Amino acid sequence: MLMTSKAFRTRCRIVLLFVCGFYSANMAQSAETKAPRIVNIYNFIRNSDYRVADSENVLLETTRQQIELLKPTGLPATWALQYDALINPRYQKLLKEQLGTNDEIAAWWEIPQPLAEKAGLKWRGQHEWDSTANIGFSPGYTPAERRQLVDVYMVDFKAIFGSYPRTVGSWYIDEVTLAYMAERYGIVASCNCKDQVGTDGYTLWGGYWNQAYYPSRLNAYMPAQTKSGQISVPIFRMLGSDPIYQYGTTPGMWTLEPVYPRAGGSADWVGWFMNNLIQQPALAFGYTQAGQENSFGWAGMKTGLTLQVALLAKQAKAGEIQVKTLAQAGEWFRKNYAVTPPTSVVALEDWKHQDRKSVWYDNRFYRINFLWENNGFFIRDLHCFDENVVSPTHATALATKSLAYETLPVMDGCLWSGTEPAGIWPVLVAADGKTSSLVPEGLPRVKELNTTDLSIQQPLRGGGSFSIICSEDGVTFTGVDGEGKPLHWAWDLVGGARQKSAVQKVASDSITYHDAGANYQLKLAEDAGSCTQLENGVIRLSPNSSGKLVLVLSRF
């Protein structure tokens, strides 16, 4: 059980507009007969960018070209305005005259100089828009100042467009701002950046990995566990992350952003990515965000965005995906889910042809990732969530030039890896205590057991199988040999110095941690496994005599 010191997705064939070698002959059900696959086309708009020559004209022309590309398709899109673009008459004219009735005009929540000054605040940036975290983002201001900034933006937006924006996005928005926007101005959805470590000085790590979640009232990055403890505005995760390679400090940028030529700008990669979204299990719903911020310029995004829009239009027409505005997606989420639902992201083919596979499972209590590579598999990531953990900037302004928000790590394959990779590794345990690797044989079989539970069945070399059942309250593991008898196996937690620092106590049925400013526990179900601290710093989780081990990851 997770505890804190404060209380704790008709068979069909897809024919693409371009050749893609990753497509399987056996396709999943159509979008009408399974949980929806939702795509937001989300383009956010800045007025200027100090990194771009003649930026005001370049950025305006980029937005104009994006509109011209999307207009013939009839696909709905969200156009999110930063305040400096909102008050520019050229953007007002462009959006009012050129957008379709299905489009949404929304707010992009970075703080430029005109907004700060109109709210009566001293501008601390070196440019009209400054990407420094404590200048350009809401946590850099006191709670009272955050509300002042919201009031100014909302009044001016309504004066220009006749109503308040229904959604607000940003790389990161704090919970005080989100709650105020919801309660006073009625926003129905938000979006924030993908998980990342250090990119542009922004670290968001250990959160609900994809799709969407209801945030805690005390911490916008932390999914809430209860309705009373949440802000009832779903936050959708942006940018479309590669479920295998977009992980923490892994080299490269592997997202759906069309400016990256080997990822969102590649027909093959985009085909692979969308194929996974459409075909693979997603439980409550599958989701991704397409589109691009105008700061990158039209020349940089034209190729990738053009191929993406053509594919999305084809898939939407075939009923394989539902393209919605962010507001429409938010309304759908709120109508269907009172609390954050379980979802999954699955990739069983490797576009790099290196035989890696990845399965992500998320719910309101935890996230877990299983990775297959080097003829083995392991738990790469396990983070737990607790709505009672207060954000470090909940009541005070961010003082540093970078921002970092985290959840509660049980295993962190990114930040805890050192000379050897961190992870939770499955091993066979002989009678004399010696261990050997638990080696998979063939593809894992991944399927939805119901709307909340995901099953992973992995055949093993030499016979037998390893079963993983992910559910809301925890994960159940069972190993059997070729004769169906209990397998002598275990999980070894290998996290090096960071694990040693985080772990406070290992008991027979639990591990106590202190990390990210919180105390919490990983517990095993009664009579379903045991914990042992080994001399080499490794922590071993052993199953019961039936070969079964159960991690309890909820508080209730």
> Which two tokens mark 542?
């052993």
| Predicted pLDDT at 220 | 98
Q: Is the confidence at residue 278, as pLDDT, over 70?
A: yes
Once rounded to an integer, what is the mean pLDDT over residues 145-157? 98
Q: Is the confidence at residue 331, as pLDDT, over 90?
A: yes
| Alpha-carbon dihedral angle through residues 221, 222, 224, 230, given to the nearest 10 degrees | -40
- Cα Rg of the chain, angstroms: 24
Q: Is the confidence at residue 31, as pLDDT, over 70?
A: no
Same fold: 31-343 with 357-552: no
- Classified as helix, coil or strand, 179 is helix
Once rounded to an integer, what is the mean pLDDT over residues 32-38? 78
Give the domain ranges of the chain: 31-343, 357-552
Q: Is the confidence at residue 525, as pLDDT, over 80?
A: yes
CB distance 496 to 445 below 8 Å: no
Q: Is the confidence at residue 249, as pLDDT, over 90?
A: no
Res. 328 pLDDT band, cuts 50 70 90: very high
DSSP type of residue 53: T
| Predicted pLDDT at 10 | 36
Q: Is the confidence at residue 518, as pLDDT, over 70?
A: yes
Alpha helix ranges (H) inside 452-535: 496-502
> Which two tokens mark 533?
């601290």
Average pLDDT taken over every residue of the chain: 92
Q: Global pTM?
A: 0.92
User: CA-to-CA distance for 424 and 490, rounded, in angstroms?
Assistant: 10
| Predicted pLDDT at 555 | 62
Best CA proximity match to 3, nearest among 542, 348, 545, 509: 509
CB distance 284 to 343 below 8 Å: yes
Top-level class of domain 31-343: alpha beta
| Predicted pLDDT at 348 | 97
Once rounded to an integer, what is the mean pLDDT over residues 424-429? 96
Q: Is the confidence at residue 244, as pLDDT, over 90?
A: yes
Q: Is the confidence at residue 369, as pLDDT, over 80?
A: yes
> Which two tokens mark 27?
């396709």
Q: Is the confidence at residue 4, as pLDDT, over 60?
A: no
Rounded alpha-carbon distances, angstroms, from residue 310 to 21, 28, 270, 292, 417: 18, 21, 11, 15, 40
User: CA-to-CA distance for 300 and 533, rounded, in angstroms?
Assistant: 52
> Which two tokens mark 47?
């007025």
Q: Is the confidence at residue 9, as pLDDT, over 60?
A: no
DSSP type of residue 170: -
Which residue matches tokens 């110095």? 497
- Classified as helix, coil or strand, 311 is helix
User: CA-to-CA distance for 247 and 381, rounded, in angstroms?
Assistant: 10
Pick the CATH number of 357-552 from 3.90.550, 3.30.70, 3.40.50, 2.70.98: 2.70.98
CB distance 189 to 326 below 8 Å: yes
- Classified as helix, coil or strand, 125 is coil
CB distance 84 to 47 below 8 Å: yes
Sign of CA dihedral 10, 11, 15, 18: positive
| Predicted pLDDT at 24 | 35
206-221 residues labelled b (16+ CB within 10 A) or e (exposed): bbbbbbbbbbbbbbbb
